[in-house]
C-alpha cells in the first residue's frame, strides 16, 4: 500500500514516498503500520496511532510530522556529520559553480562603486557638476538618477544555497558578500587608472568596462548544472539525480541525498499552501519572508550605501582628493579581509550571534562618527577628521565580519525551498525599495549645498541600526547546522528565537520539540542473542581508529551535551517516575552535573591528550624523547546504577568518549524510565557504530560479561562487584568498581551542632538517602549530643514543615523490594526512634527516621541502609569515634568529620576512605572535576573530570632513538669490557642526595646558597635578613 506523492509509478524510488516501489510488504510500510497500531519494532520507538499520520501541524507539545525512510535519515545524519574539510573534498564542482555564478554579484557591486567614485573624478565633475564655494559639486538629482539602477540589478545567492551541503552553505553564501567587495575593489582600480585623464574617457571608459562581466557569465552559463532542488520541485527526478552527480565527487552516494530532498519537498507540500508570490506570506512562510526581507534591508539601513560614497565622503570630510581615494581603497580592503575572516566565524559560531553582535558594533561606531562631527572646530581639526575617517574603516571591517556576509546566509537558510527564489526576490525588491530611498536621501544629506550633514549622518544610520538590532534580537532564530527539512519543521512550529536556538529535530520516526516519556517505546530487554553482535560491532569500530581523533571525540561529546540539554524536561520526568525526584534535585545532581562534566572535559581534552614528558631523566635518555602517550583502552562496558541513573551511567560514558574508547552502556533496570530516555538520547546523539545501549537485567548482564572487553566499569553493590571482578579476572580484563560503604560521620565536641545537624540531615533527605556516599551512621560526642539531637529536630521541621508525605521535594524509594529491605532493617534495630518512622508501602514513602542506637553492633550501623535512616551512636571522645569507625568498616566510600581543624586532621590521619568532606556532607562527591572512587572493598579506581579520561586510557611509554646516537650507544653491544662498564655507569647513574643514615645531604656550595636553610622559602628569608644586616652595617660604617 504505497504512497506516491508525485503521481508517477515510473519514477525511481528514493526513500519512502517516491514512486510505487514501496509495497505493502516493505520495511518502511510495515513500520508505518506498526506506528498506526501504536507499536513499533524499530529501535527509535514510536508514537501512538493518532500521532503517526502525516505532517499534521499540531499546536500541542510534541510532533509536527512523521518521516519514514532510512535513506532520508541517513542523508540528514551525513549532512550533520560532514566536516568542512571533507565537504571541500567531496563537493568541488558545487564550490566551483557557486563561485562562477557569484561573478554576477561582482558585476552588481562593480556598478554602484564605479558611480560613487565617478563623483570624485575631476573630468566628471567638470562636465556634469557646478562650482559651489570654489569646489566642483555633482548635483544631488544627478547622483540620484545615476545610482537608481544599482539596487535593481542585484541578484540573490539562491544557486549557492541549493547546491552546497550544510558544512559549506555558510561559506558559499557569505562568499556573495566577498564578491561585492571584489567588485568594489575592481571598480576603484578602474577609476584609479582613468581618473587622471582630462577628457571624456575618464568616465566613458569605466562605463564601458561594465560589459565585461556580462560576457563572462554568458559564456559559462550553458554548461552549468541546474539546481537539483528546482528539478525535484518540478518532478524531474532523473535530471535532479544527474545534476547531483555532477555537483558531487564519485565518493558521494547521492541516493540518500535525493531521498532527503524529495522528503523535504513532500513535507513542504503539506506544510505550505503553494509556490506563488502570495504563498510567501501565508502560513509558516510569513515569518520566513519577514526575516528574509528584514535582514536584507538591514544591509542598507545599517549604512552600507556609504561604501559607494566613501571617496566622496572622505573628500567632503576634509581629506585631499588623493588621500580620500587611498582611504576608500583601504576601506574596501578591510571589508575584503573582514569577509574572509567571517568564514572562520561562520564555521565556529551561530548565524544569530554573529549577526547581532556585528550589528551592535556597527551602531556604536556610527554613533561615535556622528559625535566626532559635532566637535567644535571640526573642519580645522585634521586629527579629528582622520579619526572619523579611520572609524569608517573599522566600520567596514565589522560589516565584512558580520552583517554583510551573514545576511546572505540567513537569507538562504530561512526561505523555504519551494518558494526560495520568490522569497529572495521579494527580499531583493524590498532592499531595492529601501535602497531607492537611501539613494535619494544620502546625496541631500551629505552635500554641502544641501543638509551638509557630513559625519552626522552617523546619527541617522546609527538610530536606524539600533531599531534593526531590536527587531533582529526578537525575530531572527538560529539556523546554523540545520538541513532544510529541519528548518521547515522549526518554522512550522513558529519557534521563538530562544526555542529555535535550542531546538533539536529528531530524524527517523518523529519530529519532536519536547519529548515526553509516553512518546517513547516501553522499556524492553535487549535480546540476549543480539549482544555478541553488538560487542563485535563496537569492537570493529574501535579498530578503525576513528574514535581516536580529537575532533571526533569533541563532536560526540558536544552532540551528547545538546541531546541532554534539549531533552531536559523528559529527563526530569523520568526521574520523577522512577524515584519521585524533584526537578530541583534532578537538575542539581544529575542533568546539570552531566552537562558541566561534558563542558569541562571538552575544554581540557586537547591538553589531556598531549604526550606527557617523562620527569627527571638523565641527559642521555632525554635525547631519546621519552614520553608517555595517552592511548584509549578499546571497547568498554559500563554498568550503571539506579539511584543516580544519569550521573552514574553517563559520567563514565563521558570519560570513555573523551579517551577515544567505544562503549556499551547497560543502565539499571531498576530505573526503567531513566534507562529509556538515556537510550533515546544516546541513539540520537552518538554514533551507533561506536556507542550502544543494552537494556535488561541479570540475563543480559551475564551475556555482556561473557564478551571480552578492554575495560569494565561497574557502579553498584559489593556483592555484584565481586562477581564482575571474578568474571573479568578470567580474561584479565581491568575493572573499575564504584561500590557502596558504611560511611561514618564523626561529630566532635568542638563541632557546631547546628551546622552538623543541618548538613548531615540534608545528606539523608537528598534522594531519600539513596546515595552511596551519604553517611550510614553518625558518631556524636556525648558532650554535644543533646544539642545535636535538638538541632536535628529543628532542621527536620524547617526542611519538611508539612512532613514527608505528599512532599514534592522528597523522593520515594525506588521499588517495593528496596522499601521492604529498609522496613525490615528499621524493624530489627534495638535503638529508639527519635524523629520520623512513618512509612507507606503503596507510595513507597519512607520518612526520614532518626534513631539513637546504643551499640556499634546494631543492624542500622553494621549494614548499609541506602535510605533515609539516620542512626546516632554516642561516643565518649574523638579517639573512640575513630576506633569505632575503623572497626565497623575500615575502607568506606566516604567519611565526614565535624570539629576543629585539629580534630579533622586527626580523623583524616587515622582513617581510610574513598573520599572525605570536612564540616559538611557529600561535597567531595558532588564536584565533577574532582576524582571520585573507593578504596578497599568500597571500590577500586576513580573517575570524573580528568580522572574519567585517565580511567579509560592506557599510559603508553614511548621513546624514539635517532640514528646519530649509534656512536654513543655502542657501549651496549657485546663484548662487554671494563671500559664499556665505566661508560655505561657515567651515562645512566644518578647520584643520591642522602647519606647512609637516610639523612639528606647537600654540597657545601648548595649549603652556602641556601644559607643553611632547608628550602627555598627559608633560604629567601635568611638572605633577606642577611642583606638587610649588610645594608645596616654599611650605613653605620659610612656614618663613622
Element housing 334 (H / E): helix 321-348
CATH superfamily of 744-924: Aldehyde Dehydrogenase; Chain A, domain 2 (3.40.309.10)
Closest CA to 655 of 943, 954, 932, 939: 943
Contact present, 682 and 693 (Cβ < 8 Å): yes
Q: What is the pLDDT of residues 980-1033, one digit of tens each?
A: 888 888 777 777 878 888 887 766 677 777 777 766 777 788 888 888 888 888
Q: Give the integer Cα–Cα distance in Å for 144 and 860.
A: 91
Structural domain spans, the chain: 91-224+272-481, 530-738, 744-924, 963-990, 1004-1039
Q: What is the pLDDT of residues 363-378, one digit of tens each?
A: 998 888 888 878 777 6
Cα separation values, 647 from 558, 564, 633, 650, 771, Å:
17, 12, 22, 5, 12
Q: Can you tell me the mean pLDDT for 828-839?
A: 93
Examine the pLDDT at 10 and tell me if it is beyond 60.
no
pLDDT averaged over every residue in the chain: 79
**Active-site residue flag, 692:** no
Q: Give the integer Cα–Cα distance in Å for 337 and 343.
A: 10
Question: Phi then psi for 230, rounded to 5 degrees?
Answer: -60, -45
Q: What is the per-residue pLDDT for 512?
A: 39
Question: Phi then psi for 915, rounded to 5 degrees?
Answer: -155, 170
Contact present, 390 and 520 (Cβ < 8 Å): no
Q: Which residues pair with 850 in a beta bridge?
A: 835, 870
Closest CA to 532 of 626, 400, 664, 376: 664
Residue 126 pLDDT level (bands cut at 50, 70, 90): low
Contact present, 325 and 192 (Cβ < 8 Å): yes
The dihedral over CA atoms of 872, 875, 879, 885, expressed in degrees to the nearest 10, equals: -30
Question: Phi then psi for 868, rounded to 5 degrees?
Answer: -85, 35
Q: Can you tell me the mean pLDDT for 427-447?
A: 75
Instruction: Specify the range with the lowest mean pLDDT, choosing from 311-320, 768-777, 859-868, 985-994.
Output: 311-320
- Write the DSSP string, 856-913: TTSHHHHS---SSEEEEEEESSHHHHHHHHHHH-SS-SEEEEES-HHHHHHHHHH---
Q: Give the integer Cα–Cα distance in Å for 551 and 348.
A: 13
Contact present, 101 and 224 (Cβ < 8 Å): yes
Q: What is the per-residue pLDDT for 950?
A: 96
**Active-site residue flag, 50:** no
Q: Which residues pair with 835 in a beta bridge?
A: 850
Q: What is the per-residue pLDDT for 859?
A: 94
Q: What is the per-residue pLDDT for 99?
A: 76
Q: What is the pLDDT of residues 762-775, one digit of tens each?
A: 999 999 999 999 99
| pTM for this model (two decimals) | 0.62
- Write the DSSP string, 38-91: T---STT----GGGSSTT----SSSEEEE---HHHHHHHHHHHH--HHHHHHH-
**Three-state secondary-structure class, residue 612:** strand
CATH number of the structural domain 530-738: 3.40.605.10
Phi-psi region of 913 (alpha: psi -120 to 50; beta: other; left: phi over 0): beta
Tell whether the torsion through CA atoms of 420, 421, 422 and 426 is positive or negative.
positive
Contact present, 684 and 510 (Cβ < 8 Å): no
Q: Give the integer Cα–Cα distance in Å for 455 and 385.
A: 9
Q: Give the integer Cα–Cα distance in Å for 635 and 172.
A: 40
**Three-state secondary-structure class, residue 920:** coil
Q: What is the pLDDT of residues 535-589, one digit of tens each?
A: 999 999 999 999 999 999 999 999 999 999 989 999 999 999 999 999 999 999 9
Q: What is the pLDDT of residues 351-361, one digit of tens each?
A: 888 989 999 99
Q: What is the pLDDT of residues 321-333, one digit of tens each?
A: 666 666 667 777 7
Cell of 497: 528565537
> Which of 77, 738, 791, 847 does the annotation list as catalytic?
738
The sheet with strand 711-715 has its strands ordered as 691-693, 662-666, 635-639, 711-715, 735-738, 939-940
Which CATH architecture describes the domain 91-224+272-481? Answer: Up-down Bundle (1.20)
**Three-state secondary-structure class, residue 363:** helix
> Which of 594, 661, 772, 951 does the annotation list as catalytic?
772
Q: Give the integer Cα–Cα distance in Å for 352 and 335.
A: 20
Amino acid at each position: 500500500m504505497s504512497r506516491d506523492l508525485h503521481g508517477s509509478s515510473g519514477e525511481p524510488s528514493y526513500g519512502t514516498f517516491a514512486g510505487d516501489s514501496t509495497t505493502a510488504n516493505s520495511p518502511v510500510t510495515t513500520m508505518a503500520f506498526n506506528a498506526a497500531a501504536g507499536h513499533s519494532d524499530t529501535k527509535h520507538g514510536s508514537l501512538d496511532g493518532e500521532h503517526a499520520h502525516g505532517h499534521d501541524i499540531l499546536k500541542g507539545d510534541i510532533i509536527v510530522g512523521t518521516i519514514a525512510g532510512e535513506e532520508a535519515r541517513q542523508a540528514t545524519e551525513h549532512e550533520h556529520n560532514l566536516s568542512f574539510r571533507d565537504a571541500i573534498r567531496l563537493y568541488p564542482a558545487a564550490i566551483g559553480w557557486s563561485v562562477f555564478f557569484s561573478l554576477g554579484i561582482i558585476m552588481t557591486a562593480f556598478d554602484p562603486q564605479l558611480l560613487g567614485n565617478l563623483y570624485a573624478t575631476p573630468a566628471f565633475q567638470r562636465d556634469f557638476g557646478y562650482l559651489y564655494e570654489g569646489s566642483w559639486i555633482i548635483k544631488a538629482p544627478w547622483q540620484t538618477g545615476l545610482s537608481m539602477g544599482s539596487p535593481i540589478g542585484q541578484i540573490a545567492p539562491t544557486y549557492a544555497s541549493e547546491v552546497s551541503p550544510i558544512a559549506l552553505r555558510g561559506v558559499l553564501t557569505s562568499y556573495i558578500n566577498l564578491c561585492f567587495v571584489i567588485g568594489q575593489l575592481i571598480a576603484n582600480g578602474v577609476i584609479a587608472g582613468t581618473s587622471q585623464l582630462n577628457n571624456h574617457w575618464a568616465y566613458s571608459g569605466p562605463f564601458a568596462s561594465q560589459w565585461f562581466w556580462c560576457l563572462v557569465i554568458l559564456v559559462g552559463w550553458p554548461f552549468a548544472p541546474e539546481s537539483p532542488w528546482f528539478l525535484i520541485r518540478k518532478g524531474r527526478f532523473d535530471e535532479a539525480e544527474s545534476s547531483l552527480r555532477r555537483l558531487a565527487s564519485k565518493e558521494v552516494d547521492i541516493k540518500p541525498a535525493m531521498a532527503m530532498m524529495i522528503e523535504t519537498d513532500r513535507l513542504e507540500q503539506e506544510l505550505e499552501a503553494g509556490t506563488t508570490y502570495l504563498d510567501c506570506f501565508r502560513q509558516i512562510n510569513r515569518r520566513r519572508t519577514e526575516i528574509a526581507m528584514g535582514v536584507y534591508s538591514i544591509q542598507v539601513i545599517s549604512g552600507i550605501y556609504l561604501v559607494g560614497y566613501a571617496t566622496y565622503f572622505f573628500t567632503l570630510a576634509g581629506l585631499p582628493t588623493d588621500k580620500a581615494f587611498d582611504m576608500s581603497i583601504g576601506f574596501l580592503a578591510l571589508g575584503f579581509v573582514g569577509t574572509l575572516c567571517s568564514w572562520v566565524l561562520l564555521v565556529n559560531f551561530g548565524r544569530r550571534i554573529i549577526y547581532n553582535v556585528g550589528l551592535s558594533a556597527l551602531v556604536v561606531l556610527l554613533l561615535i562618527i556622528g559625535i566626532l562631527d559635532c566637535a567644535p572646530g571640526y573642519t580645522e581639526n585634521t586629527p579629528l577628521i582622520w579619526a572619523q575617517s579611520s572609524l569608517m574603516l573599522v566600520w567596514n571591517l565589522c560589516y565584512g565580519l558580520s552583517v554583510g556576509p551573514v545576511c546572505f546566509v540567513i537569507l538562504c537558510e530561512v526561505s523555504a525551498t519551494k518558494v526560495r527564489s520568490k522569497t529572495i526576490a521579494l527580499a531583493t525588491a524590498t532592499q531595492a525599495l529601501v535602497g531607492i530611498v537611501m539613494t535619494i536621501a544620502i546625496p541631500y544629506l551629505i552635500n554641502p549645498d544641501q543638509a551638509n550633514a557630513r559625519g552626522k549622518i552617523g546619527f541617522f544610520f546609527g538610530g536606524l541600526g539600533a531599531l534593526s538590532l531590536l527587531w533582529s534580537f526578537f525575530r531572527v532564530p538560529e539556523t546554523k547546522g540545520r538541513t532544510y527539512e529541519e528548518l521547515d519543521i522549526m518554522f512550522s512550529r513558529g519557534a521563538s528565537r530562544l526555542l529555535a536556538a535550542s531546538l533539536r529535530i529528531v530524524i527517523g520516526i518523529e519530529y519532536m520539540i519536547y519529548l515526553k516519556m509516553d512518546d517513547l517505546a516501553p522499556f524492553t530487554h535487549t535480546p540476549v542473542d543480539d549482544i555478541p553482535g553488538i560487542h563485535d560491532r563496537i569492537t570493529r569500530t574501535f579498530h578503525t581508529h576513528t574514535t581516536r581523533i580529537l575532533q571526533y571525540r569533541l563532536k560526540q561529546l558536544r552532540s551528547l551535551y545538546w541531546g541532554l540539554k534539549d531533552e531536559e524536561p523528559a529527563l526530569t520526568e523520568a526521574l520523577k517516575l522512577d524515584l519521585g525526584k524533584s526537578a530541583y534535585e534532578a537538575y542539581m545532581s544529575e542533568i546539570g552535573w552531566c552537562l558541566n562534566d561534558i563542558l569541562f572535559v571538552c575544554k581540557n581534552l586537547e591538553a589531556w591528550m598531549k604526550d606527557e614528558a617523562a620527569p627527571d631523566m638523565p641527559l642521555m635518555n632525554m635525547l631519546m624523547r621519552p614520553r608517555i602517550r595517552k592511548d584509549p583502552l578499546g571497547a568498554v562496558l559500563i554498568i550503571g546504577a539506579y539511584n543516580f541513573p544519569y550521573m552514574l551511567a553517563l559520567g563514565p560514558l563521558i570519560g570513555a568518549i573523551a579517551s577515544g574508547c567505544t562503549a556499551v552502556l547497560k543502565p539499571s533496570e531498576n530505573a526503567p524510565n531513566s534507562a529509556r530516555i538515556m537510550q533515546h538520547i544516546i541513539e540520537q546523539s552518538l554514533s551507533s557504530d561506536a556507542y550502544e545501549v543494552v537494556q535488561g537485567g541479570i540475563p543480559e548482564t551475564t551475556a555482556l560479561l561473557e564478551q571480552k572487553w578492554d575495560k569494565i566499569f561497574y557502579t553498584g553493590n559489593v556483592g555484584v562487584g565481586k562477581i564482575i571482578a571474578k568474571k573479568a579476572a578470567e580474561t584479565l580484563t581491568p575493572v573499575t568498581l564504584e561500590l557502596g560503604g558504611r560511611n561514618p560521620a564523626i561529630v566532635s565536641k568542638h563541632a557546631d551542632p547546628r551546622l552538623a545537624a543541618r548538613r548531615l540531615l540534608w545528606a539523608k533527605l537528598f534522594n531519600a538517602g539513596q546515595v552511596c556516599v551519604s553517611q550510614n551512621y553518625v558518631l556524636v560526642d556525648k558532650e554535644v549530643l543533646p544539642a545535636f539531637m535538638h538541632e536535628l529536630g529543628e532542621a527536620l521541621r524547617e526542611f519538611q514543615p508539612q512532613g514527608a508525605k505528599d512532599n514534592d521535594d522528597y523522593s520515594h524509594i525506588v521499588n517495593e523490594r528496596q522499601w521492604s529491605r529498609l522496613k525490615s532493617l528499621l524493624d530489627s534495630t534495638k535503638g529508639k526512634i527519635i524523629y520520623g518512622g512513618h512509612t507507606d508501602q503503596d507510595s513507597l514513602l519512607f520518612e526520614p527516621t532518626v534513631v539513637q542506637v546504643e551499640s556499634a553492633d546494631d543492624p542500622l550501623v553494621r549494614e548499609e541502609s541506602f535510605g533515609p535512616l539516620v542512626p546516632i551512636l554516642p561516643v565518649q571522645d574523638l579517639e573512640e569515634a575513630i576506633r569505632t569507625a575503623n572497626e565497623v568498616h575500615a575502607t568506606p566510600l566516604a567519611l565526614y568529620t565535624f570539629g576543629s581543624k585539629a580534630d579533622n586532621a586527626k580523623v583524616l590521619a587515622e582513617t581510610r576512605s574513598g573520599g572525605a568532606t570536612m564540616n559538611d556532607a557529600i561535597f567531595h562527591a558532588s564536584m565533577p572535576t574532582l576524582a571520585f572512587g573507593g578504596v578497599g572493598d568500597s571500590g577500586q579506581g576513580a573517575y570524573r573530570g580528568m580522572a574519567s579520561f585517565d580511567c579509560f586510557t592506557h599510559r603508553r611509554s614511548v621513546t624514539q632513538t635517532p640514528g646519530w646516537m649509534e656512536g654513543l650507544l655502542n657501549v651496549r653491544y657485546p663484548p662487554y669490557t671494563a671500559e664499556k662498564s665505566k661508560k655505561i655507569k657515567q651515562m645512566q647513574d644518578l647520584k643520591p642526595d642522602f647519606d647512609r643514615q637516610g639523612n639528606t645531604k647537600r654540597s657545601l656550595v648548595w649549603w652556602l646558597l641556601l644559607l643553611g636553610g632547608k628550602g627555598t622559602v627559608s633560604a629567601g628569608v635568611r638572605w633577606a635578613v642577611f642583606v638587610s644586616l649588610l645594608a645596616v652595617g654599611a650605613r653605620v660604617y659610612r656614618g663613622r
